[in-house]
Structure 1
Amino acid sequence: MTTDTDRDTGEPTLTIDELAARAGMTVRTVRFYGTKGLLPPPVLGPRRVGHYGQQHLARLALIEELQHQGMTLAAIERYMEQLPADLSHHDLAIHRAVVASWAPDTVETLTAEELGRRAGRPLGEDDVERLAAMGVVRPDGDAFRVDSGLLRLAVQLLDVPLSEAVILASRQVLIEHSRAAAHELSQLFRGEVLERDEEDVKSLSAYMQPLVVQALLTTFQRSLKEEVHQWLADAHTESRGDTRTGSQEGRSA
């Protein structure tokens, strides 16, 4: 079975045909995005055959989402140019999820085979049940009602070593805080566009969207990093405190 990366070398092993199939695009489209600089070059293997991996797949998914938002190719190029070149496929998936949050709900009815293809991997019964618990998939007879905007991110969560309860609680925290941020931002922007005509409002929205996405991601990633560092520092301090207490008890005995 072909995998995204070779387990021994960590190098991408998808051919361009396999990449296109995973992304639901034609090879011609993938090559076109490559010539536009929207995809990093492939890793060249034996006989100079190009190999692709998860980062390429994640970038294609993000490009597709930006297109769904109505962004032109030129706007997508500008957006992608602003992204750090070394972003992991996990970071790109977060970008796509945030971008998708600006779009109206995109719920589709898919067969089990189509669901697996969209997910990019085979899904067992347990996987489908966890996706249903996350609110991304809902059984509908012999088919499934699927929130396509969140599907790929939810599939990645299947491999996260956290309990389902923690994942669902995390989802609720993100939803609540995202809604609060969206409300506050909408209040700020409303005064700016109140006296403008409809076309100006649409233009401002299209211009602000990628900037707000970048700001949200940057502040969230920095805040999360600070929280993790503080958590580790507190754990280290508590560990040293326990050691000292044990030593004092030993001397008292």
Structure 2
Amino acid sequence: MTTDAGEPSLTIDELAARAGVTVRTVRFYAGKGLLPPPVLGPRRVGRYGPVHLARLALVEELQRQGLTLAAIERYLRQLPPDLTPHDLALHRAVVASWAPDAVETVSRRELERRAGRPLGPEDLARLSAMNVVGAAGEDAFRVDPGLLRLGVQLLDVPLSHEAVLAARAVLVEHSRAAARALAELFRGEVADRAAGDVKSLSAHMHPLVVQALLTAFQRSLREELGEWPGGSGTD
């Protein structure tokens, strides 16, 4: 398990089980430098925490999107080294959005396993309002894997359904406007290029632009929240 303080307390077996992968996979990723080293506990037993779990989930999502190990290494090297589990979950949600259709149908038990916690009727109602899950028959749910972890984290945020939906509308509106403006900007760059060059540029631009937008948004939001009474601001 993980302590309330979020300190590393998972064994490698528990980390693998929580992430839905094998211990061999965890060791493989660690050997490639895709996961930070564990914290050594008593008797030098490696312990893992929320950052390891979130980073492992991000690596798995990048794999699902078809990125090679070399491409995943490049992607992770470009991330700030001090990202929190929440920051990593945001990146994973954005990466999952690259897929045209990421919705899966799972049982209640599997949904709760992936969420890492029991889900009561109110929890399911909130996740449904955020379009993260939906009923798909008796004891079956449609779930967006890329948004599930973020949606579960929002369950503990003291916001009403209305505020969550309003926030989602704001994000959709402004992200579409940014995508439109960037598409127009890059369209001029590829107008006179060969088809192969255009395809190569498109393959590289999607993850890079998404990552740049997410990083810029995180910094802007941190600055805005820092202006609230009691806000920490930026260093």
Same fold (TM over 0.5): yes
Provide the secondary structure at the position in 1 that maps to 2:142: strand
Match of 1:36 in 2: 32
Q: 1-side partners of 2:101 and 2:16: how far apart? A: 25
1:97 paired with 2:96, answer no
Calculate the TM-score normalised by the size of structure 2. Answer: 0.90
Q: 2-side partners of 1:232 and 1:170: how far apart? A: 21
Q: Per the alignment, do residues 107 and 130 of structure 1 end up closer, same or farther by CA in structure 2, a change over 3 Å counting?
A: same
| TM alignment of 1:19-30, pairs within 5 A | 19-30=15-26
Match of 1:150 in 2: 147
Q: 2-side partners of 1:147 and 1:41: how far apart? A: 30
Q: Per the alignment, do residues 6 and 160 of structure 1 end up closer, same or farther by CA in structure 2, a change over 3 Å counting?
A: closer
Provide the secondary structure at the position in 2 that maps to 1:64: helix
| TM alignment of 1:1-253, pairs within 5 A | 2=1, 4-5=2-3, 7=5, 10-142=6-138, 143-232=140-229
AA aligned to 2:186 is F
Q: 2-side partners of 1:57 and 1:204: how far apart? A: 32
Identity %: 73
Q: 1-side partners of 2:224 and 2:125: how far apart? A: 31
AA aligned to 1:47 is R
Preserved CA contact (<8 Å) 2:62 2:72: yes
Q: 2-side partners of 1:179 and 1:99: how far apart? A: 16
Q: 1-side partners of 2:202 and 2:64: how far apart? A: 15
Larger radius of gyration: 1
Residue 108 of structure 1, CA deviation: 0.9
Count of aligned positions: 229
Q: 2-side partners of 1:91 and 1:144: how far apart? A: 26
AA aligned to 2:97 is S
Preserved CA contact (<8 Å) 2:102 2:144: yes
Q: What CA deviation, in whole Å up to 9, does each residue of 1:33-52 have, x standing for no partner?
A: 11111111111111211111
Q: 1-side partners of 2:78 and 2:142: how far apart? A: 34
Q: What CA deviation, in whole Å up to 9, does each residue of 1:110-160 have, x standing for no partner?
A: 111111122122212221111111111110111111122211111111111
Q: 2-side partners of 1:87 and 1:231: how far apart? A: 22
Preserved CA contact (<8 Å) 2:59 2:72: yes
Provide the secondary structure at the position in 2 that maps to 1:149: helix
Q: 2-side partners of 1:198 and 1:45: how far apart? A: 54
AA aligned to 2:3 is T
Preserved CA contact (<8 Å) 1:6 1:13: no
Q: Per the alignment, do residues 174 and 93 of structure 1 end up closer, same or farther by CA in structure 2, a change over 3 Å counting?
A: same
Residue 68 of structure 1, CA deviation: 2.3
Deviates more, 1:188-197 or 1:167-176: 188-197
Residue 214 of structure 1, CA deviation: 2.8
AA aligned to 1:216 is L
List 4+ stretches of structure 1 deviating above 6 A: none
Q: Per the alignment, do residues 156 and 131 of structure 1 end up closer, same or farther by CA in structure 2, a change over 3 Å counting?
A: same
Q: What CA deviation, in whole Å up to 9, does each residue of 1:13-70 have, x standing for no partner?
A: 1111111111111110111111111111111111211111111111011112212222
Q: What CA deviation, in whole Å up to 9, does each residue of 1:219-253 have, x standing for no partner?
A: 212221232233449xxxxxxxxxxxxxxxxxxxx
Q: 1-side partners of 2:114 and 2:104: how far apart? A: 11
